[in-house]
């Protein structure tokens, strides 16, 4: 029997009966340390939440955390579900809809990515302006629940321009360089071939990664505003003599996390101020 959203939420409500979030965060590989800034956290392991398949990849901690960041109530998903683990679309939908169900209006979606441009190296942050969905599917495939969102929904301005402008101002204030570009999603778990990277570059992609896009699709379907941040962990294959490895991803994820630890709380404060 499939798990209903009601069952998922009642499990969460046992831990936090009255918590209302304003902003959600999804933290990818090596970026979990951002959650350490959350004050008075209520921490729920994914295993305790029906409908969430627990992640098994090294560096993914798999905790739902409710608390405050810079005084703003947030819901944080630390450790994500990846389709390459064999997680069903249904779990990806549940994963993102928890954020909406807890009251958030916006979600910050972070993920490790390989850069397809040489001037944007490991340790940089790329704010996502748009994406190319190269996943062989879409988590909204299946019967549509009209109470959640429309069957055919727009992906124009999916990476909300107002949110991007706020983040740009924050990055200028904090003097942290922020790149901007198009995120191209692949299923993984294999890294790309050099020929694939050349093709993706010719399509207009600036960074490539194995996450973000399925979640953004679910988020837009249910009306969450999205800020997407790609943590550049490596130059994509063929652009450098360095080998692309998962350990390298975690190492440079940590480096980028140090920037995101400054950017994200300030962004959340400014977003809340903007109303
Ligand atoms: N390719 C795909 N996904 C990634 C990469 C990459 O080079 N780096 C981090 N995630």
Give the pLDDT confidence of 157-187 residue by residue, as tens digits: 999 999 999 999 999 999 999 999 999 999 9
> What is residue 125's predicted lDDT score, i.e. its pLDDT?
97
Comparing 256 with 227, the larger pLDDT belongs to 227
| Beta carbons of 160 and 130 less than 8 angstroms apart | no
How many domains does one find in the chain?
1
List pLDDT tens digits, range 195-244: 999 999 999 999 999 999 999 999 999 999 999 999 999 999 999 887 77
The answer to whether the bond into 189 is cis (omega within 30° of 0) is yes
- Active-site annotation, residues: 29, 60, 82, 84-85, 112, 210-211, 234, 246
Two structure tokens written together for 198? 């050349």
Question: Percentage of the chain surpassing pLDDT 90?
Answer: 77
Q: Is 126 in the pocket of ligand 1 (CB under 6 A)?
A: no
In 3D space, the residue among 161, 146, 148, 133 whose CA is nearest the CA of residue 217 turns out to be 133
Question: Percentage of the chain surpassing pLDDT 70?
Answer: 96
> What is residue 61's predicted lDDT score, i.e. its pLDDT?
59
**Residue span of the structural domain in which 227 resides:** 5-274
In 3D space, the residue among 226, 205, 196 whose CA is nearest the CA of residue 26 turns out to be 226
Report d(CA 164, CA 242) in Å as an integer: 31
Report how far ligand 1's centroid is from the alpha carbon of 81 (Å).
Answer: 16
Q: Is 113 in the pocket of ligand 1 (CB under 6 A)?
A: yes
Mean pLDDT of 115-128: 96
For residue 274, give Cα distances in angstroms to 17, 165, 260, 270.
Answer: 28, 11, 20, 6
Q: What CATH number should be reported for the domain holding residue 184?
A: 3.40.50.1580
Report d(CA 29, CA 40) in Å as an integer: 24
| Beta carbons of 178 and 219 less than 8 angstroms apart | no
For residue 222, give Cα distances in angstroms to 106, 114, 197.
Answer: 11, 28, 32
What confidence tier does 53 reach under pLDDT thresholds 50, 70, 90?
low
Report how far ligand 1's centroid is from the alpha carbon of 127 (Å).
Answer: 16
Q: Is 244 in the pocket of ligand 1 (CB under 6 A)?
A: yes
What confidence tier does 1 reach under pLDDT thresholds 50, 70, 90?
low
Report d(CA 62, CA 54) in Å as an integer: 6
Q: How many Cβ atoms sit within 10 Å of the Cβ of residue 22? A: 18
């Amino acid at each position: 029997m499939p798990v209903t959203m009601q069952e998922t939420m009642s499990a969460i409500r046992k831990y936090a009966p009255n918590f209302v979030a304003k902003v959600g965060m999804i933290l990818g590989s090596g970026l979990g340390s951002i959650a350490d800034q959350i004050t008075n956290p209520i921490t729920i392991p994914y295993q305790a939440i029906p409908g969430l398949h627990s992640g098994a990849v090294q560096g993914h901690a798999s905790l739902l955390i409710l608390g405050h960041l810079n005084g703003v109530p947030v819901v944080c998903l630390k450790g994500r579900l990846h389709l390459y683990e064999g997680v069903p679309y249904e779990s990806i939908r549940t994963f993102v809809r928890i954020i909406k169900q807890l009251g958030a209006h916006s979600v910050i979606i972070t993920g490790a990515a390989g850069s397809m441009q040489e001037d944007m190296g490991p340790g940089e942050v790329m704010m996502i302006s748009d994406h190319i969905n190269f996943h062989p599917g879409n988590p909204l495939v299946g019967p549509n629940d009209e109470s959640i969102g429309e069957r055919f929904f727009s992906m124009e301005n999916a990476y909300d321009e107002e949110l991007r402008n706020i983040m740009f101002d924050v990055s200028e204030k904090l003097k942290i360089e922020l790149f901007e570009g198009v995120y191209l999603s692949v299923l993984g778990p294999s890294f790309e071939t050099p020929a694939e990277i050349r093709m993706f570059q010719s399509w207009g992609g600036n960074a490539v990664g194995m996450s973000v896009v399925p979640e953004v699709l679910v988020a837009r379907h249910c009306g969450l505003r999205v800020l997407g941040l790609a943590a550049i962990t490596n130059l994509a294959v063929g652009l450098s003599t360095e080998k692309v490895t998962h350990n390298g991803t975690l190492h440079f994820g940590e480096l980028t996390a140090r920037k995101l630890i400054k950017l994200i709380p300030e962004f959340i404060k400014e977003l809340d101020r903007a109303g």
